[in-house]
Structure 1
Amino acid sequence: MMDRIAKSDLAPPERPDTEDVPTERLLSLTQGLSRTLALAGGFLILGAGALVAVEIFARKVLGGSTGIADELTAYALAIGSTMAFPYCLVERGHIRVDSVVRFLPRPLRTALDLLALASITGFFAVVAFHAAETALVSFERGARAVTLLQTPLFIPQGIWALAYVIFVLTGIAIFLVAVSRLIRRDPKGVKSLIGPRSGKDEAEAHL
Structure 2
Amino acid sequence: MAERMLAILRSLNRWVALVVGLMFLACAGLVLVDIALRHSVASLGGTDEISGYVMAIGTAWGMGYAMLELSHVRIDILRSMTGTKVRALFDIAAMMLMAAAVSVIAYWSWPVVAATLRNSSRANTPLETPLVLVQVPWFAGWIWFAVMAWLTLFAALMLLAQGRFDKAERAIGLFLEHEAL
- Which bin holds the TM-score, normalised by the shorter protein? over 0.9
Shift of 1:85: 0.7
Q: What is the aligned partner in structure 2 of residue 47 from structure 1?
A: 26
Aligned partners of 1:44 and 1:77 also within 8 Å = no
Q: What is the aligned partner in structure 2 of residue 166 from structure 1?
A: 144
Aligned partners of 2:6 and 2:171 also within 8 Å = no
Counterpart CA distance in 2 for 1:201 and 1:93 is 14
Q: 1:58 aligns with which of 12, 37, 43?
A: 37
The amino acid across from 1:33 in the alignment is: L
Scaled by the length of structure 1, the TM-score of the pair is: 0.82
Counterpart CA distance in 1 for 2:59 and 2:38 is 27
Counterpart CA distance in 1 for 2:56 and 2:63 is 11
Show CA shifts across 1:98-152 (max 9, x none). Answer: 1221111222111110000010111111111122221111001110123344222
The amino acid across from 2:25 in the alignment is: L
Using CA pairs below 8 Å that are at least 6 residues apart, which structure has the higher relative contact order?
2
- Displaced runs of 4 or more, over 4 A: none
Counterpart CA distance in 1 for 2:11 and 2:145 is 13
The amino acid across from 2:48 in the alignment is: D
Shift of 1:34: 1.0
Aligned partners of 1:144 and 1:152 also within 8 Å = yes
Aligned partners of 2:121 and 2:132 also within 8 Å = yes
Shift of 1:189: 0.8
Q: What is the aligned partner in structure 2 of residue 121 from structure 1?
A: 99
State whether structure 2 residue 12 is matched by structure 1 residue 33.
yes
Scaled by the length of structure 2, the TM-score of the pair is: 0.93
Aligned partners of 1:132 and 1:162 also within 8 Å = no
Q: 2:87 aligns with which of 109, 127, 138?
A: 109
Aligned residue pairs, count: 181
Unaligned runs of 5+ in 1: 1-20
Question: Rg: which structure is higher?
Answer: 1
- What's the % identity of the aligned pairs? 25
Shift of 1:58: 1.5
Counterpart CA distance in 2 for 1:100 and 1:127 is 27
Q: 2:163 aligns with which of 178, 185, 192?
A: 185
Counterpart CA distance in 2 for 1:197 and 1:142 is 44
3-state secondary structure, aligned to 1:80: helix
3-state secondary structure, aligned to 1:177: helix
The amino acid across from 2:104 in the alignment is: V
Aligned partners of 1:51 and 1:73 also within 8 Å = no
C-alpha RMSD over aligned residues: 1.5
Aligned partners of 1:139 and 1:154 also within 8 Å = yes
Unaligned runs of 5+ in 2: none
